[in-house]
Amino acid sequence: MIKECPQHGRYEDMMAVDAKFLEHIEAMYPGRDIDAHNDRELHNHGTSSIKYGRGSVLTVDLTNRCNMMCDPCFMDANQVGFVHELTFEEVKEILDNACEIKPRRQMSVQFSGGEPTLSPFFMDAIRYARRKGFNSTQAATNGIEFAKSKDFCREAYEAGLRYVYLQFDGIGNDANSHRQVGNLFDVKLRAIDNLHEAGVEIVLVVTVVNGMTNDQVGPVIQFAMDNPKKISFISFQPVSFTGRDEEITDDRRLRQRYTLAHMAHDVKNQVGITEPTRDWFPISVMSTFADFADLVHGPQAEWGQMSCGCHPNCGVGTALMINKETKEMAAVPEFINVPALLKDITKINDAAREVDVKHHGRPCAAQELRSVRRAEEPSHRRPAQEVRQVARGDWPQLRGWQGTP
């Protein structure tokens, strides 16, 4: 990717190490979410204002304090010379505001930091989020407090903590030594045991830096496959050069950049499972299933489903089925044709909106918009003139496109 900006000059970065993978991921993109509305004041962030959807993950940074001093640290915890910590009133205000945005949908409420467990309001914040009706409350944590005390784990579970996003960069103390704590892997194992015993689900979160931790992709997956009762998900998060790494040089950024295509290939090469262009899909395909679930629950449902409409290059995912007793395993797309399933569900979702066509002789606004966006994103496959015609409501043009991914 090369960008030219009159203010900041030329910028060059790597999008993928496999063009076919990028093509596949963009082709599977289901289209943008609805326009963001009714939140102009909350999300008015200039050029970074939220334009589509209503969000799927609400990250609440409870404190910038931390009991570690890592490099990398995405938010430069402990280093900025002042403490910024939310009061409980501020936490409540954030969660109350999140409930005001329409349509009301579930979101993952992720308490983060710094280290969120150091906030004096950690338990209260979880409790309040659950009371508001958010059913996926999470803590992004280094695990130290959870390793120290089984009681702390139990209290968090009883307050309503459902998942911990556990920082977990690799297998063994050496693979974690860049975090500057000698026995960090032992701490992680203790945290996993305590949290599992308390009933909290565990997501391993691996910060991947090319040339530094990418050799741990395979061993971490193997660890999860060996412990299927304790580990629910793995989230590989390519390093973002922010916080302590903001001043990175172009050379180092290119060397350490880790793309989604890197990851799909590392999984195949290091573990011998999954095919990059068969088994990986943009995270946003979940919106197709969310739309379907919303239809099934009907318009009177108290909450809509969580729906993520992020750009196809923002995140990808796959699912493995593992027999928890025998540990036998297969990638789900090995036995389900996911693209065909998505196409069928999309047809059902669109058909359910056709009632408006009968009433008004043209597709309802949501269907029209969705179809236009399927066509225009992400690679502008349709000529702009066609997109404009449909946007004006030229229905015959639209018919030929329906169902195109």
Closer of 115 and 376 to ligand SF4 (Cβ)? 115
* Closer Cβ to ligand SF4, 53 or 113, answer by number: 113
Long-range interactions of 224-229: CB distance < 8 A, separation 24+: 225/320, 225/322, 225/327, 225/329, 226/327, 227/192, 228/322, 228/323, 228/324, 228/327, 229/196, 229/324
**Min dist. Cβ of residue 114 to ligand SF4 (A):** 5
In this complex, which beta carbon is closest to ligand SF4, that of residue 44 or of residue 240? 240
Tell me whether residue 108 or residue 167 sits nearer to ligand SF4 (CB atom).
Answer: 167
Contact (CB, 8 A) for 370 and 363: no
Under a CB-based contact definition with an 8 Å cutoff, are residues 222 and 228 in contact?
no
77 or 212, CB closer to ligand SF4? 77
Min dist CB 218 to ligand SF4, Å, is 23
Single-letter residue type at 235: S
Determine the distance from the C-alpha atom of residue 184 to the mean position of all C-alpha atoms in its chain, rounded to a whole number: 25
Q: Which is nearer to ligand SF4, 50 or 75 (CB)?
A: 75
Classify the phi-psi angles of 106: left when phi > 0, otherwise alpha if psi is within -120 to 50, otherwise beta: beta
Q: Vertex 296, ends 295 and 297: CA angle to 5°?
A: 95
Q: How far is the CB of 234 from ligand SF4 (least distance, A)?
A: 18
DSSP readout, 51-101? -BS--SEEEEE-BS--S---SS-TT-TTTSSS--B--HHHHHHHHHHHHHS
Q: What's the CA gap between 261 and 18, in Å, rounded? A: 6
Closer residue to ligand SF4 (CB): 53 or 170: 170
Distance CA 170, CA 224 (A): 11
Locate 301 and state its tokens: 């449902």
Closest contact distance (angstroms) between CB of 398 and ligand SF4 is: 48
Which residues are at the interface with ligand SF4 (CB under 6 A)?
66, 68-70, 73, 77, 113-115, 142, 167
